[in-house]
C-alpha cells in the first residue's frame, strides 16, 4: 500500500507541476526519503508486538540434515533449496522467452494506394505521433477528392526497456510540446478490415492546422485502444513463447473550416478503402514469424 501511495504521489506531483517536479534526481530522492519514512513506521508498529524475554533454546551441535539436527537447520536448508530452484527455473524460462521472441522484423514497405486514394507529399505543417523505440516505422499521406489522410505505423518486436509499444513516452502529443496541442480526446467505433473495435480519437492543433486523429494498437491480430489490454496481450505472447510483434496504427485528416466535410466521413472512407493495404504492409514485415 505504501509503494502504491508513493507511485501515485509521484505521478500526481509530475502531473500537477507539468513535469517540473518529481522527475530526474528529485524523483529518486523522494522515493528514498519516502522509503525511509515507511520503514521507520513499520519498525515502530512492529515494536508494539516485540517480546523482550524469550525462553532459552538449548544448544545443539551439528549442521547435517539428520534426526538430531537443530530445529532451524531443516527449514533454512529447505528455503535455500527453494531459492536456488526458483532462480534456476526463472533463468531457464527467461532464456526460453528470449529465444522464442527473438524474431526480427523486416522494414515496413510502402503502403499501396487503393480505392481511388493516391500518394501525396506531406502537408505543412507536418505532424507525427511521438513513438520511440520502434523496430521500423512508416509515415505516408494519401489524397482522394481533395482530402488528405495521413497514416502512421510503428512496428515493435523483441521489446525491452525503451523499446516498448506501450510507454509513457509514446503518445500522440507529449506534455509540454510547445507547438502541438491535444485539445480533446475520446473513443469511437471503427470498422477496419472487417473488424469493429473502439479506437482512440483526438483533436490536435498547431501552426494554424488542426487534425482529427484515430489511433489504436495491433497486437497478435487483435485491435485495441487500451494500454492495459495491449500490455496483457503482450504478456500473454511471452507466456505462450510467441513473438511479441505489435504496432500502433494512426490515421488522421485535417479539419478545414472553409470546406465543411465531416472528418469522420473522410476517415471512414479511408478505412474502408485502405485498411487491407495497411495491414498487408504490417504482415509483410512480420512474414514467416506469425
pLDDT tens-place string over residues 2-44 = 888 888 888 888 788 777 776 666 667 777 788 888 888 889 8
* Residue 83 contacts residue 90 (beta carbons within 8 Å): no
- Please tell me the distance from the alpha carbon of residue 144 to that of residue 262, in angstroms, as a whole number: 14
- Please tell me the distance from the alpha carbon of residue 262 to that of residue 137, in angstroms, as a whole number: 28
Distance (Å) of CA 185 to CA 182, 199, 207, 241, 246: 8, 11, 19, 35, 23
CB atoms within 10 A of CB 22: 19
- Please tell me the distance from the alpha carbon of residue 143 to that of residue 270, in angstroms, as a whole number: 9
Beta bridge partners of 247: 155, 218
Tell me what pLDDT residue 290 has: 42
Tell me what pLDDT residue 87 has: 57
Whole-number CA gyration radius for the chain: 27
Give Cβ neighbours of residue 226 (< 8 Å, ≥ 6 apart). 217
121-143 burial, b for 16+ CB within 10 Å, e for fewer? eeeeeebebebebbbbbbbbbbb
Tell me what pLDDT residue 14 has: 79
Tell me what pLDDT residue 83 has: 66
Tell me how many degrees the CA angle 128-284-289 measures, rounded to the nearest 5: 115
Residues of the chain with pLDDT below 70 are 22-27, 54-77, 83-103, 256-261, 288-290
- Please tell me the distance from the alpha carbon of residue 103 to that of residue 249, in angstroms, as a whole number: 21
Tell me what pLDDT residue 203 has: 95
Tell me what pLDDT residue 172 has: 96
- Please tell me the distance from the alpha carbon of residue 195 to that of residue 59, in angstroms, as a whole number: 72
- Please tell me the distance from the alpha carbon of residue 242 to that of residue 96, in angstroms, as a whole number: 10
Tell me what pLDDT residue 214 has: 97
DSSP state of 192: E
Cell (9 digits) for 200 = 482512440
Tell me what pLDDT residue 271 has: 96
Amino acid at each position: 500500500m505504501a509503494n502504491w501511495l508513493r507511485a501515485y504521489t509521484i505521478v500526481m506531483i509530475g502531473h500537477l507541476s507539468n513535469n517540473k517536479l518529481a522527475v530526474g534526481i528529485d524523483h529518486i530522492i523522494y522515493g528514498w526519503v519516502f522509503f525511509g519514512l515507511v520503514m521507520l513506521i513499520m519498525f515502530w508498529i512492529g515494536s508494539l508486538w516485540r517480546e523482550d524475554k524469550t525462553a532459552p533454546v538449548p544448544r545443539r551441535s551439528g549442521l547435517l540434515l539428520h534426526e538430531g539436527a537443530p530445529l532451524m537447520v531443516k527449514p533454512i536448508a529447505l528455503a535455500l533449496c527453494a531459492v536456488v530452484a526458483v532462480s534456476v527455473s526463472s533463468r531457464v524460462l527467461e532464456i526460453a522467452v528470449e529465444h522464442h521472441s527473438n524474431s526480427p522484423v523486416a522494414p515496413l514497405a510502402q503502403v499501396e494506394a487503393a480505392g481511388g486514394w493516391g500518394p501525396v507529399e506531406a502537408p505543412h505543417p507536418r505532424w507525427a505521433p511521438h513513438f520511440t523505440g520502434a523496430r521500423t516505422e512508416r509515415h505516408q499521406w494519401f489524397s482522394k477528392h481533395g482530402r488528405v489522410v495521413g497514416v502512421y505505423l510503428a512496428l515493435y518486436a523483441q521489446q525491452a526497456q525503451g523499446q516498448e509499444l506501450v510507454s509513457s513516452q509514446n503518445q500522440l502529443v507529449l506534455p509540454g510540446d510547445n507547438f502541438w496541442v491535444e485539445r480533446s480526446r475520446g473513443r469511437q467505433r471503427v470498422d477496419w478490415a472487417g473488424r469493429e473495435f473502439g479506437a482512440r480519437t483526438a483533436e490536435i492543433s498547431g501552426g494554424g492546422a488542426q487534425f482529427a486523429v484515430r489511433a489504436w494498437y495491433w497486437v497478435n491480430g487483435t485491435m485495441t485502444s487500451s494500454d492495459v489490454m495491449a500490455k496483457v496481450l503482450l504478456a500473454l505472447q511471452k507466456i505462450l513463447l510467441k513473438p511479441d510483434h505489435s504496432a500502433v496504427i494512426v490515421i488522421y485528416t485535417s479539419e478545414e473550416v472553409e470546406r465543411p466535410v465531416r472528418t469522420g466521413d473522410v476517415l471512414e472512407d479511408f478505412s474502408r478503402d485502405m485498411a487491407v493495404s495497411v495491414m498487408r504492409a504490417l504482415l509483410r514485415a512480420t512474414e514467416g514469424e506469425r
